[in-house]
Amino acid sequence: MFIYCFNIFLIFIFSGKFQKWLEEEMQKIGLDAYTQNFTFSYPLILGEKKLQGINAVGISRAYRAARTEALVLMTPLRAADSGAASHERRTDGSVALMLALAKFF
């Protein structure tokens, strides 16, 4: 079983279209697709600020196995203008790679 997890942090504004698109793409290639809302607080770095985000999860089930093992592949999604350091920007390529891996397996 492969589990593909995308962390979508709402530091930048999404209208909900991307989450819906990603969920639809995962369903098109045969994954069970789910989303999970979360709130994250880290007082040592962020102080009182809380971040909200969405996990988009796609599960590819092994139909011929006992389904007792799993491999989790995870990637964050950050926009180019998210305020992250220059080497941490633009992770949309990793989303494309994860979708390609899901299609392959």
- Give the residue carrying structure tokens 């397996």: 105
Residue burial 35-64, b: 16+ Cβ < 10 Å; e: rest: eeeeeeeeeeeeeeeeeebbebbbbbeeee
Secondary structure tally for the chain: helices H, strands E: 3, 4
What is the band of 8 on the pLDDT scale with cuts at 50, 70, 90? very low
Mean pLDDT within 5-31: 66
DSSP, res 90: -
| Average pLDDT of the segment spanning 27-51 | 82
pLDDT for 11 beyond 50: no
